[in-house]
Amino acid sequence: MYVDFEHPRLTRISVENLDNMLEAFYELSRPDPTMPIYLFLDEIQNVRNYDRWFRKRLNAKFYISGSTSRLSSKGVAEELRGRSVDYTVYSFSFREYLDFKDVAVDRPELILYNHVKRGLVLSMLREYLRFGGYPAVVLGGMSRRKSGF
């Protein structure tokens, strides 16, 4: 089950609603009881007191993510009392993004003098800032343009 707690319909969700959501999941999907259950909960820090709810349900595998310091490895370990494994996912740097897109910039200082190269790099920068540099986003084909110089 995947839930994004930044969805507009979930802005006022409370920890009590999590049980109802889990019950609806079981009712609608009827999972095989011999198979593990996986819950992917994004931006879980938006649900007040979520940590207490997890501690009661540790027989399932939970994957939680978020973008605040409350979900740092230290914060999760404190809230879930050491029942967590932390994975940090880094995005591509802009240089790595250019390399992935096959845009070679051997001497960046010369871009100022070449309008074509400068235009291409600025276009790539705009794309990088708009869509991000995570590998899945880059692979998703925001721009499949490849160019070398």
| pLDDT tens readout for residues 101-131 | 888 887 777 777 777 888 888 998 998 998 8
Q: By residue range, what is the domain housing residue 114? A: 94-139
Examine residue 89 and state whether it is found in any structural domain, yes or no: no
Q: Quick: pLDDT tens for 66-106.
A: 665 555 545 554 555 555 566 677 788 888 898 888 888 87
- Judgement on whether residues 17 and 69 belong to the same structural domain of the protein: yes
Q: What proportion of the chain, given as a percentage, has pLDDT over 70?
A: 70
- Judgement on whether residues 64 and 100 belong to the same structural domain of the protein: no
Q: How many domains does the chain have?
A: 2
- Judgement on whether residues 8 and 72 belong to the same structural domain of the protein: yes
Q: What proportion of the chain, given as a percentage, has pLDDT over 90?
A: 3
Please give the pLDDT value at position 126: 92
- Judgement on whether residues 6 and 48 belong to the same structural domain of the protein: yes
pTM to 2 decimal places: 0.47
Written in H, E and C, the secondary structure of the chain is: CEEECCCHHHCCCCHHHHHHHHHHHHHHHCCCCCCCCEEEEECHHHCCCHHHHHHHCCCCEEEEECCCHHHCHHHHHHHCCCCCCCCCCCCCCHHHHHHHCCCCCCCHHHHHHCHHHHHHHHHHHHHHHHHCCCHHHHHCCCCCCCCCC
- Judgement on whether residues 99 and 75 belong to the same structural domain of the protein: no
- Boundary (domain end) residue, out of 48, 79, 110: 79
- Judgement on whether residues 73 and 123 belong to the same structural domain of the protein: no
Please give the pLDDT value at position 144: 45
